[in-house]
Structure 1
Amino acid sequence: MPVKQDPLSNEWQAFWLAVGFLTRIPMLARIDYSQKLMNQCSMYFPLVGLLLGALYAGLFALFSFAWGPLVSVLLVLCFHLFITGAFHEDGLADSVDALGGGYTVEKRLEIMKDSRIGTYGTVALVMALSLKAALLMSAQSIWLALLVAPAVSRLTPLLLMVFLPYVTDPNKSKSKPVAEGFSRNRLWVSCGFTALVAVVFSLWLPGMWLVAATAVIVVALLWGWYLQRQLGGYTGDALGASVVFCELVFLLGV
């Protein structure tokens, strides 16, 4: 007779699975891997984003003792690319290459699966990272922007997963496990957590909750509409691109 798993233990494992999926941070828990657990871990994406943001803000404060703001921001961005494996940036490059160079859905999906980066993707990466650095330098509070942006931006792919169909080859996609079976009930938990984060930090920067809500909704609607039109749904790379886009819109508001 199968042993019934403790719900708290299940959620603890789901959290660490989300950490391992989105970052290179070692998972400090034994994972009884299953398709269901991988589906459930998506709920913790904004929480993982907040933990990353805490690392970024702490490093920025540390670097600021030795270097100026620009150097400190660039060093934090280097750390971000390392600790996440440039996971979302890779999605951005692949998405832009595919949507810019493909004339049919089949061709776009084929280009998106190609590990090589093209002109469109290269330009998108350079511009996105440059704009991110510039926006952070222009923020009223750099440490606060570094802290909150990763949490807010990681809510956007959850909205896309719930409201759009998955269109890529599921047998060849890393995002297959999190793309299937993500429930709306868990989405509302993620939305509530992200809203709480935005409201709490609005005490330091009034109006941040409005900026966060606008960034998530605008990117989810516009990027989602564009993906539906160009692909008929979303892919794992498109989810990664949505994180980058949401961060940039959020930083524009901040």
Structure 2
Amino acid sequence: MKGNGFSLQREWQAFWLALGFLTRIPMLVKVDYSQRLMNQCSVYFPLVGLLLGALYAGLYSLLAMLWSPQVCVLLVVAFHLWITGAFHEDGMADSADGLGGGYTVARRLEIMKDSRIGTYGAAALVMVLLLKVVLQTEVSPVWLGLLLAPAISRLTPLCLMRWLPYVSDPDTSKSKPVAEGFSGQRLAVAAVGVAFIALAFQVTLAALISIALVVVVWGGMLRKNLGGYTGDALGASVVLSELVFLLLLAAS
């Protein structure tokens, strides 16, 4: 399976690499890791989100037989933080610390690389988690938000990767291999997949607004304050897109 054309085996490995990159789920197939494969795997981020959403919705349905919606959503969010390693939430906290506490680009990037959490990061993390729990319980039916938000929101970082330059130390970054060489063609494939999901569940407008709003507003902030994006900023974009999407679902 060599060459530059489509390879089913390579795409299968790219999917599992994306699953391993975004979650704690073990890769059950042998992956021939390469920089190119890492570049390609991001097209499957929304699909990984959909699989996570199916887990969340299924878990909620089981828990709902015993407890109230509030308790069930709290337990599902706790499961989400475990199964993903709080990957995107960590990016949200680091981004808030960097943008809130730094006065120069260099200082902001330095703060974002610090493993310690500061006041801005702690406040942002508490607020986004509280909002997520409250909004999930406001969506009717609850399982719909749990299922769709992870898939819809994971298209946002792919858009940012195409729009903005990468600004971080490639020797210490986990996201550089994903961002480097990400093609517009693969972005289009991911966008079509998300559009199909949104159409199937009749949430097209909410999906479009949540992605576009975060790309424009958050992306504009990143361009102004950092000159581009970092891995943490991409993680934050997922969290922000989820919240906007849930806000729109809860209001409809």
Q: TM-score, normalised by structure 2?
A: 0.97
Q: Which one of the candidate residues 216, 220, 240 is aligned to 1:221? A: 216
Paired residue type of 1:160:
L
**Within 5 A, what are the aligned runs for 1:8-23?**
8-23=8-23
CA distance in 2, matches of 1:7, 1:191: 20
Q: Does 1:36 align with 2:36?
A: yes
Paired residue type of 2:144:
L
Quote the offset at 1:89 in angstroms: 0.1
The aligned counterpart of 2:70 is 70
CA distance in 1, matches of 2:198, 2:191: 11
The aligned counterpart of 2:179 is 179
CA distance in 2, matches of 1:99, 1:143: 34
Q: Which one of the candidate residues 206, 215, 226 is aligned to 1:211? A: 206
Quote the offset at 1:219 in angstroms: 0.4
Quote the offset at 1:8 in angstroms: 0.1
The aligned counterpart of 2:240 is 245
CA distance in 1, matches of 2:194, 2:30: 27
Q: Does 1:235 align with 2:230?
A: yes
CA displacement 1:83-130 (0-9 Å, x = unmatched): 000000000000000000000000000000000000100000000000
CA distance in 1, matches of 2:144, 2:116: 35
Runs of 4+ that moved beyond 6 A? none
The aligned counterpart of 1:4 is 2
SS of the residue corresponding to residue 157 of structure 2 reads helix
Quote the offset at 1:140 in angstroms: 1.6
Q: How many residues align?
A: 247
CA displacement 1:25-63 (0-9 Å, x = unmatched): 011111000000000000000000000000000000000
SS of the residue corresponding to residue 170 of structure 1 reads coil
Quote the offset at 1:226 in angstroms: 0.5
CA distance in 2, matches of 1:4, 1:245: 39
Paired residue type of 2:248:
G
Quote the offset at 1:4 in angstroms: 2.3
Paired residue type of 1:224:
G
The aligned counterpart of 1:131 is 131
The aligned counterpart of 1:102 is 102
CA distance in 2, matches of 1:142, 1:216: 21
CA distance in 2, matches of 1:81, 1:118: 20
Q: Where in structure 2 are there 5+ consecutive unaligned residues?
A: none
Q: TM-score, normalised by structure 1?
A: 0.96
SS of the residue corresponding to residue 24 of structure 1 reads coil
CA distance in 2, matches of 1:137, 1:79: 16
CA distance in 2, matches of 1:162, 1:171: 21
**Within 5 A, what are the aligned runs for 1:85-100?**
85-100=85-100
Quote the offset at 1:151 in angstroms: 0.2
SS of the residue corresponding to residue 173 of structure 1 reads coil
Paired residue type of 1:216:
I
Q: Does 1:147 align with 2:147?
A: yes
* Percent identity of equivalent pairs: 66
CA distance in 1, matches of 2:216, 2:43: 20
Q: Where in structure 1 are there 5+ consecutive unaligned residues?
A: 203-207
Quote the offset at 1:175 in angstroms: 0.6
CA distance in 1, matches of 2:91, 2:63: 29
Paired residue type of 2:63:
F
